[in-house]
Amino acid sequence: MENNSRHQHSVWRTLRWPLIAAIGPIVFGSTYWVTHEFLPADSPLWGSAIRALPAGLVLLLVVRRLPHGAWWWRSIVLGTLNMGLFFCLVYVAAQLLPSSVAASITSVAPLMIAGFAWLILHERPTARVLLGAGVGAAGVLLIVGTATGRLDAWGIAASFASMAMSALGAILMKRWNDGTPVLTVTAWQLIVGGIELTVAASLFEGAPPAVSPSELIAFGYVSLIATALGFFCWFSGFRHLPAGVVGVIGLLNPVTGVALGVAISGETLSALQLLGIALVLGSIVLANVRRRQHSAHAELGLHHDSGSTEQNQIGIVCADFDLQALDDRRAQP
């Protein structure tokens, strides 16, 4: 009974952060469909501002903490990359491309993340992670290469550029990690990006567009779920997992976009696209297998090397409370 409990705990410790990180790309992928179907197409800056600023204000009310020291300029850099430029480019891509194609171009993200992690963090990607990224990219290329509908060159360029901004911003956030809670840093970035986008929208698009009740609901989902919740889970993944692994998990973004495009919008899905989705899901498993083996070995070593069952139990319980530690640090001045 005790061995079974230990095994379940080991599995949970291994899968917890990949599962939490996966929430981010899943809700990100849904943004393409919601934007394409419900939000106004002629105001990309206002659309991005309405997505970012309310999410940031809600999170700021939760954390009740302003930046301090170096976090003032870091918040501006990260907010511009992860929110300001990224949201605007994603909004443009979602309006110019079918939702399945716009989401699928994110296949380059794992390679971009691995590259920036190598350059900035000196985090050399493992062969398994690179193989997973390659398999996932091949799967996404099958989805894109067989997709139906007109492909706009500016939409494709905007999608690639958004991935580059997001990858660089995520790696810089990991580089500057000093123990500041993820939720707090996410709030600061959203506020910065939302202010930048609001100013740009006022200058280039004039007054904000009129919003219908259905558009208001769509904006609420995109802001609170696909942005506030999504980025918190995504950045939490970077805090606790290797960057290359998180990049491969991010391929759930195009899978979600394709699934919604097919299931709700009636976009066609061929046999090759189904194969592509299978390859993407397989790549995520491949990138995480090694972590699971290492975690299992570490757990086994914990139990065999310790001479006290009580010490083992204390170690397990302490390991399981790292989420609470984040909350404790958040409460510190």
Q: Using one digit for the tens of pLDDT, what is the confidence trace for 306-321?
A: 444 334 433 433 333 3
Of these ranges, 94-108, 136-150, 204-218, the one predicted with the greatest mean pLDDT is 204-218
Q: Minimal CA–CA distance to 53: which of 230, 217, 188?
A: 188
Answer positive or negative: Cα dihedral of 250, 252, 255, 259.
negative
Which tens digits make up the pLDDT trace of 11-50? 667 788 889 999 999 998 888 788 878 888 788 889 889 9
Q: How confident is the model at residue 279 (pLDDT cuts 50, 70, 90)?
A: confident
pTM of the prediction? Answer: 0.75
Quick one: pLDDT band at residue 252, thresholds 50, 70, 90?
A: confident
135 secondary structure, DSSP code: H
Residue-wise pLDDT tens digits, 110-126? 888 888 999 999 888 78
Residue of 21, 12, 8, 28 whose CA lies nearest to 242:
21
Distance CA 228, CA 31 (A): 13
Q: How remote is the C-alpha of 41 from its chain's centroid?
A: 24
Distance CA 7, CA 27 (A): 30
Provide mean pLDDT across the span 193-204. Answer: 94
Model pLDDT for residues 170-180, shown as the tens digit of each residue = 999 999 999 99
Segment among 34-38, 51-55, 103-107, 173-177 with least mean pLDDT: 103-107
Q: Is the pLDDT of residue 245 over 80?
A: yes
Residue 273 has pLDDT above 90, yes or no: no
Residue 2 pLDDT greater than 70, yes or no: no
pLDDT band at 239 (very low <50, low <70, confident <90, very high): very high
* Residue 188, pLDDT score: 96
Contact of 22 with 252, CB cutoff 8 Å: yes
Amino acid symbol at 19: L
Of 294, 291, 283, 292, residue with least CA distance to 248: 283
User: Is residue 9's pLDDT more than 70?
Assistant: no
The residue length of the chain stands at 333
Closest C-alpha to 67, from 53, 79, 82: 79
CA distance 21 to 4: 26
Lowest mean pLDDT among 56-65, 76-85, 237-246: 237-246
Query: Which burial class, exposed, middle or buried, applies to 5 when counting CB atoms under 10 A from its CB (0-12, 13-18, 19+)?
Result: exposed
pLDDT at 298: 43
- Name the percent of the chain lying above pLDDT 70: 77
Which pLDDT value is given to residue 58? 96
CB-based contacts of 212, cutoff 8 Å, min separation 6: none
pLDDT confidence bin for 64, thresholds 50/70/90: very high
* Pair 93, 157: CB distance under 8 Å: no
**pLDDT(241) > 80:** yes
What is the Cα–Cα distance from 84 to 316, expressed in whole angstroms?
41
Measured between alpha carbons, how far is residue 272 from residues 140, 142, 265, 295 in Å? 10, 6, 19, 35
User: Is the distance from CB of 243 to CB of 114 less than 8 angstroms?
Assistant: yes
Q: Pick 203 or 10 by higher pLDDT.
A: 203
State how far the Cα of 21 lies from the Cα of 135, in Å rounded to an integer.
20
CB 132 within 8 A of CB 283: yes
Quickly state the pLDDT bin for 4 (edges 50, 70, 90).
low
- If one compares 186 and 323, the residue with the highest pLDDT of the two is 186
Higher-pLDDT residue of 219, 29? 219
Residue bearing tokens 């106004």: 40
Strand, coil or helix: 193: helix
In this model, does residue 159 exceed pLDDT 90? no
CA atoms within 13 A on the CB side of 104: 27
Q: Average pLDDT, stretch 170-198?
A: 95
Report whether pLDDT(301) > 60. Answer: no
Position 91 scores a pLDDT of 76
Q: Rounded distance, CA 51 to CA 61, Å? A: 17
Q: Name which of 39, 42, 93 is nearest 206 in CA terms.
A: 42
pLDDT higher for 299 or 228?
Answer: 228
What is the end-to-end Cα distance of the chain in Å, rounded? 44
Please report the pLDDT score of residue 304 as a whole number: 43
Burial of residue 304 (CB within 10 Å: 0-12, 13-18, 19+) is exposed
